[in-house]
Amino acid sequence: MTGKTSRPSLLRLIPLLLRIKLARLLLLLARVLDYDAFVMRQARRLVDAAEHGMGMRR
């Protein structure tokens, strides 16, 4: 066993998880500060893209 697997490595997974948390935080911030619809759409798209990358589609 060399430790190489077909699964995504933890090192690649961690930044992705952080990106999802950051995007969610931005989305919450945009909601709290009542940003316009364009910013909200961008933030939502960020979250969706990040979750899709993780295979966490809701």
pLDDT value at residue 4: 56
What's the rounded mean pLDDT across residues 1-27?
74
Number of domains in the chain: 1
Give a yes or no: residue 1 inside a domain.
no
Question: Does residue 41 form part of some domain?
Answer: yes
Domain assignment of residue 31, yes or no? yes
Q: Is residue 9 pLDDT above 80, yes or no? A: no
| Inside any domain, residue 13 | no
| Angstrom distance (rounded) from CA 34 to CA 29 | 8
Nearest to 8 by CA among 57, 56, 53: 53
User: Does residue 40 lie within any of the structural domains?
Assistant: yes
Whole-number pLDDT of residue 28:
83
Say how far apart CA 52 and CA 30 lie, in whole Å: 21
DSSP state, 36?
Answer: -
Look at residue 17 in the predicted model and tell me its pLDDT: 82
pLDDT at residue 27, as a whole number: 80
The pLDDT tens digits for 26-58 are 888 877 776 667 777 887 888 888 877 766 555
Domain of 36? 18-54
Answer whether residue 28 is part of any domain. yes
| Numbers of helices and strands, H then E, in the chain | 2, 0
Determine the pLDDT at residue 47: 82
